[in-house]
Structure 1
Amino acid sequence: MFAKVDEHGKIPEDEPVKIDRFEPILQRKFLVELGKEWYSVETPIPPANSYEPLIVQTFEEGEQSMLLSKRVERSAAARKRCLDIHGHQCLVCNKSMSDRYGEMGEDVIDVHHLNELSQTNGKYLVDPETDLVPVCPNCHRMIHTQQPALSLEAVRKILTKLC
């Protein structure tokens, strides 16, 4: 961006600033105030009264590696039957994702195993009516923050206390 300046390189204060032309080059800059003037700088300058050093951190991600793991199969038919029986509303917070996100959240619901899969030895029979319950992704994550998993009632009590 270029503005009209006087012979000392200053923008005249007695007339409005007019941009002569704009050069479409984008650069990451920080705007800092020094006295009564503002400057565009390459790196942020901490305030003079700041005692904490300003540290800009970046982290490298995305490296790929091979992983060998065991996957526990889940029955799509049992999931469907669970949702047919219990509906798509979370049994912890009583919300459905479509309440929060409209049509986009219509089919977004997790099915939680009341008998933890990690505690079973291989294949076992599951009853979608008594062994599976619909929970929203947020509540499902909270259930599994501890080992053994929290009960639905325990997470419900936490929500009730906070809300």
Structure 2
Amino acid sequence: MNRKQFIQSRGATCRNWTWSWSFINHDEQFVIFGAWDTEREKERAVILREEWEFSASHKKQPGYTQAIEHIGFILQGYELFTFNMVHAPNPDNPDVAVIKDFERRLDHRFLRKEGSVWYADFSANTFPDELPVSGSYIEGAKKSITVNAYERDPGARQACIRHHGVVCKCCGFDFEKTYGEHGKGFIHVHHIRPLRTLGEGYQIDPVTELVPLCPNCHAMIHRGNEASPLSVDELRFLMNNLN
């Protein structure tokens, strides 16, 4: 199955099958972007850069104009999906990107823009170790891509909140008390054991291995040494010794 057949099998289309890297299905309201392996980071993939508007020879790229239109539909509520593409160098014509191969699978992603770059985030919440985390809550199942990302089950987050509530376990901040209805239910969920240390099929305990934290405490726990973040008790000790 070639790329055109793969996209059409999902009910999506584009203006031109040669230069398009984004596709749309209006009936089911979703957009598909191809994501290059060379543009992938740990928990997200670049799907569009503003600098891609023009080629190396300063020609306007029609694929860019179409991609901007498709992003507009995502901002209006269409879902975003991506498929992974393997890039092949083309020294004879650097303006033309060559697809060596691609994964015939769509992944649900979440649109985010930072500066002049549009990203397809792997998770709705991009904070480090934040679980947007069924049954036995299997964590750590690796997806085979350029770097390993870890699948996260949102059910574990909800189980953690049902048990612990939505008040920060470090500083006691309650978003609902401060912001009223607007802040109701808002909290980060911290994974006590970093996801990258978990093996495939690891069964997480949302009561003992997840803890609700406000964004400030969550950031402080991860600050400085991501490989060995502070424990909640260690951060609480720092806070108490300063007050």
Normalised by the size of structure 2, how large is the TM-score?
0.39
Residue 192 of structure 2 is aligned to residue 114 of structure 1: yes
Counterparts of 1:18-37 in structure 2 under 5 Å?
A: none
**Higher fraction of strand:** 2
How far apart, in 2, do the equivalents of 1:96 and 1:72 lie?
30
Residue 104 of structure 2 is aligned to residue 63 of structure 1: no
The 3 A distance-change label for structure 1 pair 109 and 65 is closer
Cross-structure match for 1:150 = 230
Cross-structure match for 1:105 = 183
Deviations 1:16-38 (A, max 9, x none): xxxxxxxxxxxxxxxxxxxxxxx
How far apart, in 2, do the equivalents of 1:162 and 1:98 lie?
26
Cross-structure match for 1:160 = 240
Identity %: 38
1:94 to 145, 168, 172: 172
How far apart, in 2, do the equivalents of 1:148 and 1:88 lie?
25
The 3 A distance-change label for structure 1 pair 114 and 62 is closer
Question: For 2:186, what is the secondary structure of its paired residue?
Answer: coil
Cross-structure match for 1:80 = 158
For 2:238, give the aligned amino acid. I
Question: For 2:189, what is the secondary structure of its paired residue?
Answer: strand
How far apart, in 1, do the equivalents of 2:242 and 2:200 lie?
38
Residue segments in structure 2 that go unaligned for 5+ positions in a row: 1-113, 121-145
Question: For 1:89, what is the secondary structure of its paired residue?
Answer: coil
Question: For 1:138, what is the secondary structure of its paired residue?
Answer: helix
- What RMSD in Å do the two structures reach over aligned CA positions? 2.2
- Number of residue pairs the alignment of both structures matches: 103
For 1:62, give the aligned amino acid. G
Cross-structure match for 1:10 = none
Question: For 1:143, what is the secondary structure of its paired residue?
Answer: helix
Residue segments in structure 1 that go unaligned for 5+ positions in a row: 1-60
The 3 A distance-change label for structure 1 pair 158 and 71 is same
How far apart, in 2, do the equivalents of 1:131 and 1:66 lie?
30
Deviations 1:58-83 (A, max 9, x none): xxx82227787653222111111110
Normalised by the size of structure 1, how large is the TM-score?
0.56
The 3 A distance-change label for structure 1 pair 118 and 90 is same
Cross-structure match for 1:135 = 213
Question: For 1:122, what is the secondary structure of its paired residue?
Answer: coil
